[in-house]
């Protein structure tokens, strides 16, 4: 048995190293269209017995604790290989699918599909 009392699906067992709550130290954000900023981020990866991992990522300002970026989604693995996909929804109005590969300790993904609100702020996100 494992998280939420559910048996881990065989397909995600190779990704079990990712499960749990991860918290970063103060990070530095830099984008060409806004002022540089500091943030703290916490990510949580869980499973509920299905062939995917559910995740959430939350960041906040380190001095004020004001909420910043948030995203939720799922990680899916293609059977019998090292291919992986993230399905992500962000609070900024961006939905994305990232695909790539994984090992016992690393995940590398790149944007494959990106959608955004028609009334989102410019400049439009093109790749994550």
**Within the chain, how many helices (H) and strands (E) appear?**
0, 8
**CA 91 → CA 4, 24, 59, 81, distances in Å?**
26, 20, 11, 32
Domain ranges of the chain: 3-116
Question: According to the model, what pLDDT value does residue 126 have?
Answer: 73
| CB 93 within 8 Å of CB 120 | yes
At 34 the pLDDT is 86
84-100 residue pLDDT tens: 999 999 998 999 999 99
Report the pLDDT value the prediction gives residue 112, as an integer from 0 to 100: 94
Give CATH superfamily name and number for 3-116.
Calycin beta-barrel core domain (2.40.128.20)
Please give the pLDDT value at position 1: 46
**Cα 10 versus chain centre, distance:** 21
How far is it, in rounded angstroms, from Cα 125 to Cα 105? 29
Give, for all 128 residues of the chain, the pLDDT tens digit.
456 568 999 999 999 999 999 999 999 999 888 899 999 999 999 999 999 999 999 999 999 999 999 999 999 999 999 999 999 999 989 999 999 999 999 999 999 999 988 887 776 777 77
């Amino acid at each position: 048995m494992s998280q939420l009392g559910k048996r881990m699906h065989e397909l995600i067992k190779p990704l079990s190293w990712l499960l749990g709550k991860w918290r970063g130290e103060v990070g530095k954000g830099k984008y060409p269209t806004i002022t540089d900023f500091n943030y703290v981020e916490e990510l949580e990866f869980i499973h509920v017995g299905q062939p995917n991992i559910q995740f959430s990522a939350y960041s906040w300002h380190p001095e004020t604790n004001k909420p910043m970026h948030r995203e939720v989604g799922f990680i899916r693995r293609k059977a019998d290989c090292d291919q992986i996909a993230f399905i992500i929804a962000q609070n900024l109005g961006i939905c994305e699918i990232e695909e790539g590969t994984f090992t016992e300790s690393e995940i590398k993904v790149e944007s494959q599909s990106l959608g955004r609100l028609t009334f989102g702020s410019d400049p439009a996100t093109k790749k994550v």
